[in-house]
Amino acid sequence: MQSLLIIVGVGVGVAVIVFMSALLSGLQSNLIKRTLSSQAHIALLPPEEVARPQVAAENTALRLQKQAQRLRSIDQWQQLRDRLQNWPEIAALSPVASGPAFAVRGDANKAISLVGIEPERYNRVISLADRLTTGELRVGSGEAVIGIELAKDLGADVGDKLRIATADGSDETLTITGLFDLGNKAVNARNIYVGLRTAQTLLGLVGGVSNIDLALHDLDQAEALAQRITGETGLIADSWMRTNAQFVTALTSQRVSSNVIRFFVGLSVAFGIASVLVVSVIQRSKEIGILRAMGATQGQMLRIFLLQGGIVGFLGSLLGSALAWFFLALWRLMAVNPDGTPLFVIGVEPSLVFIAAGGASLVGILAALLPARRAAALDPVVAIRG
């Protein structure tokens, strides 16, 4: 019974470590996913236009006025696209023609951001198709997908028509084929997605693109990769880490606090496991004395108790892993939104379970080491009397 209770105690400790680690990792992943759901990891933009004096004048004070930035295309963007899509760090890329425009329907007139995309490529960067609430992601000639907030402001729905007009006088009437919700009210009220050629025509970027959006395999490499692209191409590369500087600071603080929580939880569990095993070994001093009197050597006794400590830690880690899976199943049933979707998804990494199992076994061996050596070195008569 005592051994069973020790194994259960070790199992509960391991379950707490695994569950807390999975919960903190899931929370962090959910924060990143919700924040970056409506933006690319890196956006490539053409370099800024700089005003330069045409004539060098000596002993003359010059005041250069900063040049206004007009909407321009990335030079030779097709070659750049073909080059970047072979980089192993880049998961997907999408050329985009984006610029300001107006959405007009009846008496409503809203300033919007017109975004021309290739749906297959863009959906690998930002999963727009999965964020549709109504309709489908279809942006052929004369078609558009708009946000739910903009649809509310315009009083429009799927199948209705609206007119897109730009500052240079270009305009076109489009049919709404879908409504999206990217989880950002400003984006839902501003963005209109159309086909790439439609946007190029309306914005005066015939054959060109205003930016190239990138999605990366490792988000933490975004700023370093952006600097590398800028150095090699001369383009402006805005990473999500630069455009969301405050969020990066908050995310770093959350990571530090998560590691501190994991450390102290693991430390407390390790001390709990060690204390239980130490008490167990000390209580068996009389049994050790009897075995020593029957001819067992000090080395044999030490190996027996170390083996027992390792077995207890291993069995406890298996039980703890099963309990952690059970707690996660309860979490998935209880932590849901009003519409039935999960609050956020958490999962247990296999490596975390192996680390917890190995750590529990190691703690069991180390916890049994010192008291087992002391008990094994006792005189049999003294041990039996104790």
The residue extents of the domains of the chain are 2-35+249-385, 66-234
Residue type, 173: T
- pLDDT of residue 342 exceeding 80: no
Asked if 320 and 14 count as a contact pair (C-beta separation under 8 A), the reply is yes
CA atoms within a 13 Å half-sphere pointing along the CA-CB vector of 379: 3
Is residue 54 over pLDDT 60? Answer: yes
d(CA 102, CA 192): 10
For residues 59-69, average pLDDT: 68
Of all residues in the chain, the percent with pLDDT exceeding 70 is 70
Indicate if the pLDDT at residue 378 is higher than 80: no
pLDDT for 179 beyond 70: yes
pLDDT of residue 15: 78
Residue 180: which residues within 8 A CB-CB, separation 6 or more? 128, 131, 132, 133, 145, 146, 147, 148, 188, 193
Q: What is the pLDDT of residues 296-323, one digit of tens each?
A: 666 666 676 667 666 777 777 778 777 8
Does residue 353 carry a pLDDT above 80? no
Contact at 8 Å (CB) between 44 and 229?
yes
Put simply, whether the predicted model's pTM sits higher than 0.75 gets the answer no
Question: Please, which pLDDT band fits residue 28 given cuts at 50, 70 and 90?
Answer: confident
b/e code 307-330 from CB counts within 10 Å (16+ = b): ebbbebbbbbbbbbbebbbebbee
Please tell me the predicted confidence (pLDDT) of residue 362.
Answer: 67
